[in-house]
Amino acid sequence: MATQLSIVNGALNELGQLSVSNVNDDDNAKLLDEKVDLTYRSSLDDTNWTFAEKFTALALTTETGIPQFSFVYQLPVDLERIVKTDRITQYEILADKFYTNQATNVNIFYISNLTAFNLWPVSFEKYIIYKLASEAALVVTNNVGLTEFLKKKSDELKYEAIADNANREAFRVRVNNQFSRRVQVL
């Protein structure tokens, strides 16, 4: 199971550095630790990661809408981006608010930026470790060759993780379809 420390140590090891038991014991570990969240969040745009997908009904606020939209809903605090809305085609997002003319039942599928490390598939964890290492390689090692190698490896692992994600999504869809058919038969 991934932890922030295991991710930092994985990146340190790829940079030829020793693992640490506490990130505050090493400047390079501190640097990597500070970059984990940004590296993770930038990776969320690569695809619709199944482990980060969430579905929620938005809460209607009492705030006044904007000229083209009458209703204002509060977006989730962990929203990275919306994947799709449930039957809503016209809306606008401003800051942490969702504006629409739909008065009830506003549901969204979205990518969460607060996904627990233990939900990450191994393929995604490896990708993040190499991406983190590639982003810090030049600063930590001053080695252009290693930086380029880690970037290339990170890109390869990204596509492996995306393929793994697609397989997970296909499996999830098959299971949901089989469940739906069984419910309809009953």
Residue-wise pLDDT for 130-148, tens only, equals: 999 999 999 999 999 999 9
pLDDT interval class at 13 (50, 70, 90):
very high
**Whether the Cβ atoms of residue 140 and residue 147 lie closer than 8 Å to each other:** no
- 160-174 pLDDT tens trace: 999 999 988 876 655
101 alpha-carbon distance from chain centroid: 29
For 58, 96, 122, the CA distances from 31, given in Å and listed in that order, are 37, 30, 23
pLDDT of residue 171: 67
pLDDT of residue 115: 80
Please report, rounded to a whole number, the percentage of residues in the chain having pLDDT higher than 70: 91
pLDDT of residue 174: 55
**Whether the Cβ atoms of residue 55 and residue 76 lie closer than 8 Å to each other:** no
- 64-83 pLDDT tens trace: 999 999 999 999 999 999 99
Q: Which domains does the chain have, with CATH numbers?
A: 4-48+118-185 (1.10.274), 51-112 (no CATH)
pLDDT of residue 168: 82
